[in-house]
A and B are shown apart, each in its own frame.
Chain A
Amino acid sequence: MEKFTIHTGQSVPLMNDNIDTDQLIPKTYLKRVEKSGFGEFLFDDWRYLADRSLNPDFILNHPDYQQATILVAGDNFGSGSSREHAAWALMDYGFKAVIAGSFSDIFYMNATKNGLLPIVLDQNAREKIAHLPSDHQLTIDLEAQTVSVGEDTYHFDIDETWKYKLLNGLDEIGITLQSADEITAYEQTIPSYRA
């Protein structure tokens, strides 16, 4: 997994609530057996017109937001299916972080496993960020747990374990396998009816 330490970039607002995983990546594109190549289909129904030309009214297609690396959204982002393809599509497109009012629990975990930083900020902060001129630069500092732009700095919370893994880009399975003895010891305590 890629490390996330400090990232500076442009944000793009897509302030709808309940942006679900069917919008992030329609199931037609879930049939691949690889993790890559999903960026092209991110927000597929919104980004493309029926003839697959770009929808000029969709903000990600706006010329001013072509460099955006931070998505700003409403509440309950990533609701619906458990498809990690949603996180892969966001990263493959070029996003490094998503700032939302809240995240679905499953999406939140999927994001952290891939180095995509999910940040919860209140509506006031998100509205301010959403209304920045498009040439702004936002800085996210994971160690300090802050999002800053100009004079404004916003604090966000994150569990220490996810933070540590993101900061160091760690292979979670590798870490867990260091506890193999503890897992084996636990298995020996499982009663026969649950074995």
Chain B
Amino acid sequence: MQTLFEKVWQEHVIKGEKGQAQLIYVDLQMIHEVTSPQAFEGLRQANRSVRRPDKTFATMDHNTPTKDIYHITDLISKKQIDTLRKNCEEFGITLCDNGSERQGIVHMVGPEVGLTQPGKVIVCGDSHTATHGAFGAIAFGIGTSEVEHVLATQTIWQKQPKTLGIKVTGQLPKGVYAKDIILALIRKYGVDFGVGYAAEFYGETIEGLSMEERMTICNMSIEGGAKIGMIRPDEKTFEYIKGREYAPQDFEAAVAHWQTLYTDDESCYDRILTLDVSTLAPYITWGTNPEMGVAFDEAFPAIKDHNDTLAYEYMDLHPGQMPSEIPIEYVFIGSCTNGRLSDLQEAAQFIRGKKVHPKVTAMVVPGSRPVKKAAEKMGLDQIFKEAGFEWREPGCSMCLGMNPDRVPEYVHCASTSNRNFVGRQGKNSRTHLCSPAMAAAAAIHGHFVDVRKEVGEN
């Protein structure tokens, strides 16, 4: 009797005993410009090569300017981008360059090209790598030393984590989304419930979600402390992968194996957490970590410790206020959490035929070029632009402010990204995490509104 995680893990152990560090084979390493330069430099200094360039795949995202993608004016950003280009050329690694057809945020590109598959071990120098776990892969973020180790050896030393089952049940109400599920889970169990665990999301609600919604949930596993978040692969998973560029050639054999990847019984998990979503409301964060969130019709909580005091001070909010009272002046729709086509479709519903509130600056940043093109084909770009949104080139954009897209000081931003840390979207920026629907509606009204009441209005 094993969990999904244990089955995949076991298939990848090269040496070492359970309970101690084990050498694990890596099927795919995704790299980007921020966490890789020192790794390549390390290889050069030791006169080492990349063991499997064919299992390494690069994209540019963090520094990518979303206004004019071909001209980087920040010289330090440009150096990082140029360094990746040079490293990929020197070591023979496929790169989705800025402006190319496949370019996008690293966690968008893997699934889109079909490299993200069930049963793989996937690593990337980025904590949101758990996104790929939505396909039943073991996927986790690593540091630059580990990036270098994987480049040189195609393996990584890890101690097998414990397993955590997260059971989600109930029918999701209209106007409530995958983003609300993960924000509610983190609010309920805290930002460190997953430390030391590999999480698996399961239950009827999860089974009912699309692949894109599943990616949103796995993406934010790390915000609950779990560096791995997985979902059992099923027909939706296989259908998503089928026909993509890097889908296995022997697809039937692959599916036959993928169908064996599931947790045999709930009792296999070391720990189980639960969430019933049947009465779930849209979630919004008020504070400076993703645990500091409330449901739409709930007042901000009383101060319970020094962390809360600091958070309220930084956000310029106080206990007892309602989410609708937050003065929203910026709206960001995008990121590896919510930059997919279905996210843009949901957001567009609340915008069609309306205008962005005069005091609000709003932008949509598709997570990848394929998403951008698909959205344009459907005319979504026109809906956003006519409402007064900026329609940008793909990249990480305002999620982390490493590129020119920042939230100005002291401004409240409704953001579909994943982190509301102090200074995350720019110095003294005030981030409120929420679903694309909530962000879109906030752009129109200048404050959060209950999207459950607006669904189907158009």
| Interface positions of A (Cβ within 8 A of B) | 16-18, 20, 22-23, 26-28, 30-35, 45, 75-76, 79-84, 87, 102-106, 109-110, 113-114, 159-162, 171-174, 176-177, 179-180, 182-183, 186-187, 190-194
Contact = CB atoms under 8 A, between A and B. Distances in A.
Contact of B142 (A80, A82, A176, A194): A82
B27 A183 contact: no
Interface in B62-81: 62-63, 74, 76-77, 79-80
A176 B155 contact: yes
A110 B143 contact: yes
Interface of B: 14-15, 20-21, 23, 25, 27, 34-35, 37-38, 41, 46, 48, 51, 62-63, 74, 76-77, 79-80, 83, 117, 119-120, 125-127, 129, 140-146, 148-149, 152-155, 157, 159, 161, 191-192, 195-196, 222, 225, 227, 248-251, 253-254, 257, 289, 306-307, 310, 400-402, 419, 421-424, 427
Contacts of B289: 18, 20, 79
Contact of A104 (B25, B51, B195): B195
A22 B46 contact: no
Given A20-B289, A102-B192, A186 B80 contact: no
Contacts of B51: 183
B352 to A, nearest CB: 35
Given A33-B41, A76-B192, A82 B120 contact: no
B195 A18 contact: no
B419 A173 contact: no
A16 B307 contact: yes
B20 A159 contact: yes
A177 B152 contact: yes
B203 to A, nearest CB: 24
B192 A176 contact: no
B253 A192 contact: yes
Given A82-B35, A176-B153, A183-B153, A33 B80 contact: yes
Given A84-B38, A161-B20, 10 more contacts: A27-B62, A31-B34, A35-B41, A82-B142, A83-B34, A83-B35, A172-B145, A186-B14, A192-B248, A193-B257
Contacts of A103: 195
Contacts of A23: 421-423
A27 B63 CA distance: 10
A75 B48 CA distance: 38
Contacts of B80: 31, 33
B146 A109 contact: yes
Nearest to A171: B46
A186 B140 CA distance: 21
B151 to A, nearest CB: 9
Contacts of A35: 38, 41, 144
B227 A106 contact: yes
Nearest to A111: B143
Given A172-B149, A176-B23, A182-B14, A80 B127 contact: yes
Given A110-B145, A159-B21, A173-B153, A33 B77 contact: no
A161 B195 contact: no
A186 B425 CA distance: 43
Contacts of B196: 105
A159 to B, nearest CB: 6
Nearest to A44: B423
Contacts of B422: 22-23, 45
B21 A161 contact: yes
A27 B148 CA distance: 21
Contacts of A177: 152-153
B257 A84 contact: no
Contacts of B152: 173, 176-177
Nearest to B84: A33
A113 to B, nearest CB: 4
A82 B126 CA distance: 5
7 contacts: A31-B74, A80-B421, A82-B125, A87-B143, A106-B143, A110-B145, A176-B155
B413 to A, nearest CB: 15
Contact of A20 (B34, B46, B117, B421): B421
Contacts of B38: 33-35, 84
A6 B223 CA distance: 34
A23 B314 CA distance: 13
